[in-house]
């Protein structure tokens, strides 16, 4: 009898095991309803039959882009309300669908991305070279943590570098919003004072302006609590004045950056107003007649630490193989650059954005094939047509594998390859694309890369000045669009600003300088605004003169560009030889 009962028990267990539900989510093997382990499940399946090649997706429709692909339908139906979707390679476009795979919304430039109500599937648009390592995970909502009295705890803060560079006989603006942890005008206030005879042209709640800065004077910045009017924090910054329009000989300058650099935020102060006499700007991309920069839209610091291999991704010369080998990029890229220069490229945003402004170096490449003309032994290119690297051995181009080379950031080799003079001043204006959607970002990788860049530059120019520009912490007034929640972006960038100051301030002996370009940006008026239309009228039938301020376009402070580089001009004029 006992034996019979044992057999029946085992048989029941087998039946139960066969009927137990299994998880179909890729790479997880977990029960999807176990919310405590949601972050351990990669939702991307590299073998998904629905992966689309050569396209990207916005608003549920495809657009052509040869370097992009779109993932299959990633199952996120188990995500609890309020969850986010996080990608290890960032999110340019994430499209959401309901349980029937009908389009319900998309998110742009937000990582992690907010999962809209009713979403059961998601598809991410990514560059194809990132698809192999794509990892997309659900981030469940965190429980609220209250302090005493049930009110969420918050302590405001301000951060300023210990040195501010100002230009003589020029309006030098110091806006309050960029330095505040959060913008809370009805709770806390910022007040400024000067010593040594310094005077303000204006000193109001949102901005202070100094037109006649005194070299060596001190700006005191105080954070005042709006409840008890107690001083919460006091900071002191020494003012260093650069005299505009003076200086003999040539001064060489380079700016490495993202779309702000690509758009020439520095032109007014450095090239058009005569603030910096004899300036010669160094780089591969022409920004004015005889002047060049290293700006590329959408780029992060780590993008400058990747090897440019694609046909339409912009080339840079900083990442090079070790030894006597010089990498000149993809032949197909230079062929495309020629079409942009000849104005025979397809009309539209691309490929001109990535492949334009290289006309000064194009004569080094064959117009029909993009092959490097007059190569020397050790010259290396990517052969797009044959999907291989090719090395010139002195007689012929020989196919090579990437594994044969060790790639490093090599600033001196970049200068040598392109016959460029080592600049006396190098400004790095990066960070917005790196961190504006990452409130919990780890900055240590950025620290290692910027240190490597600085060391490599100073190897080429030991007496040079390597300056990190404090990036914008005010990104405009768009604050209610999916994927563009600006208050959160501002908070993320303020966190990065404070980390930069805490990490690199007062480290001139180590080769680091900080230049505060962010402080010149007005969050309310420094961005393009809608100028016509009914949307500006407060309500239907309104007859008054009041109009609402409505920002338009991406968060680029175009109206503020003429003033953002004033601290750069002051820095150059104060320290040039």
pLDDT (0 to 100) of residue 38: 54
Compute the Cα dihedral for 158, 488, 476, 547 and give only its sign. negative
Structure tokens at 575: 């320290």
| Phi, psi (degrees; rounded to nearest 5) at 448 | -65, -40
| Secondary structure of residue 252 in the 3-state scheme | strand
Residues of the chain predicted below pLDDT 50: 1-36, 144-151
Structure tokens at 248: 């003999």
* Domain formed by 154-242, architecture: Sandwich (2.60)
Compute the Cα dihedral for 525, 436, 89, 105 and give only its sign. negative
pLDDT (0 to 100) of residue 37: 52
Separation of alpha carbons 483 and 200, rounded Å: 39
Beta-bridged to residue 105, according to DSSP, are: 96
Please give, one letter per residue, the 3-state secondary structure of 108-124. ECCCCEECCCCCCEEEE
Q: Are 220 and 193 in contact (CB under 8 A)?
A: yes
Beta-bridged to residue 472, according to DSSP, are: none
Model confidence over 482-541: pLDDT tens digits? Answer: 667 888 889 999 999 999 999 999 999 999 999 999 999 998 889 998 888 888 999 999
* Among 351, 348, 349, residue whose Cα is nearest residue 333: 351
Separation of alpha carbons 147 and 133, rounded Å: 41
pLDDT (0 to 100) of residue 139: 87
Separation of alpha carbons 513 and 529, rounded Å: 34
Compute the Cα dihedral for 307, 308, 309, 315 and give only its sign. negative
Locate all alpha helices (DSSP H) within 373-485, ordered by sequence.
411-417, 432-435, 444-460
Structure tokens at 571: 């820095």
Domains in the chain: boundaries: 35-139, 154-242, 323-405
Q: CB within 8 A of 347, min separation 6: which ones?
A: none
* Among 303, 433, 418, 298, residue whose Cα is nearest residue 354: 298
- Ramachandran sector of residue 553 (left: φ over 0; alpha: ψ -120 to 50; beta: rest): left
């Amino acid at each position: 009898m006992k034996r019979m009962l044992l057999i029946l028990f085992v048989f029941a267990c087998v039946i139960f095991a066969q009927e137990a539900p299994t998880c179909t989510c890729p790479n997880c093997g977990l029960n999807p309803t176990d919310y405590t382990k949601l972050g351990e499940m990669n939702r991307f399946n590299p073998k998904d039959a629905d992966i689309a090649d050569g396209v990207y997706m916005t608003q549920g429709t495809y657009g052509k882009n040869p370097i992009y692909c779109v993932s299959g339908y990633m199952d996120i139906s188990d995500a609890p309300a309020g969850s986010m979707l996080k990608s290890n390679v960032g999110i340019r476009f994430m499209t959401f669908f309901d349980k029937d795979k009908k389009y319900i919304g998309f998110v742009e430039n937000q990582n992690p991305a907010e999962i809209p109500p009713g979403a059961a599937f998601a598809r991410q648009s990514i560059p194809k070279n990132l698809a192999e390592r794509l990892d997309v995970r659900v981030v469940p909502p965190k429980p609220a943590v209250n302090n005493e009295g049930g009110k969420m705890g918050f302590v405001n803060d301000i951060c300023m570098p210990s040195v501010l560079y100002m230009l003589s006989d020029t309006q030098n603006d110091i806006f309050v919003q960029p330095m505040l942890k959060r913008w809370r005008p009805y709770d806390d206030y910022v007040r400024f004072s000067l010593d040594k005879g310094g005077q303000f042209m204006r000193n109001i709640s949102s901005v202070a302006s100094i037109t006649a800065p005194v070299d060596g004077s001190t700006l005191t910045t105080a954070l005042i609590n709006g409840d008890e009017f107690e001083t919460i924090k006091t900071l002191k910054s020494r003012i260093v004045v650069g005299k505009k329009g003076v200086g003999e000989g040539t001064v060489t300058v380079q700016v490495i950056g993202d779309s702000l650099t690509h758009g020439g935020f520095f032109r007014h102060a450095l090239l058009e107003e005569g603030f910096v006499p004899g300036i010669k700007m160094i780089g591969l991309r022409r920004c004015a007649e005889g002047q060049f920069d290293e700006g590329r839209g959408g780029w992060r610091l780590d993008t400058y630490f990747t090897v440019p291999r694609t046909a339409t991704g912009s080339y840079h010369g900083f990442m090079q193989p070790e030894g006597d080998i010089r990498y000149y990029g993809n032949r197909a890229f230079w062929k495309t650059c020629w079409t942009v220069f000849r104005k025979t490229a397809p009309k539209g945003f691309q490929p001109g954005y990535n492949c334009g402004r290289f006309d000064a170096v194009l004569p080094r490449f064959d117009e029909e094939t993009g092959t490097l003309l007059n190569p020397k032994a050790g010259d290396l290119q990517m052969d797009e047509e044959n999907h291989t690297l090719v090395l010139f051995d002195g007689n012929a181009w020989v196919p090579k594998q990437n594994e044969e080379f060790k790639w490093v950031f090599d600033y001196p080799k970049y200068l040598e390859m392109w016959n460029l003079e080592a600049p006396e001043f190098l400004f790095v204006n990066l960070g917005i694309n790196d961190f504006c959607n990452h409130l919990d970002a780890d900055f240590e990788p950025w620290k290692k890369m910027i240190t490597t860049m600085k060391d490599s530059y100073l190897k080429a120019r030991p007496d040079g000045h390597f300056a990190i520009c404090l990036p914008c912490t005010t990104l405009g007034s768009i604050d209610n669009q999916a994927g563009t929640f600006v208050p959160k972006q501002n908070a993320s960038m303020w966190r990065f600003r404070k980390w930069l100051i805490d990490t690199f301030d007062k480290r001139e002996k180590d080769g680091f300088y900080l230049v505060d370009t962010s402080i010149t940006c007005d969050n309310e008026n420094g961005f393009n605004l809608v100028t016509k239309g009914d949307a500006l009228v407060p309500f239907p039938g309104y007859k008054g003169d009041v109009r609402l301020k409505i920002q338009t376009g991406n968060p680029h402070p175009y109206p503020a560009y003429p003033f953002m580089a004033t601290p750069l001009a002051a820095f150059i004029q104060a320290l040039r030889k």
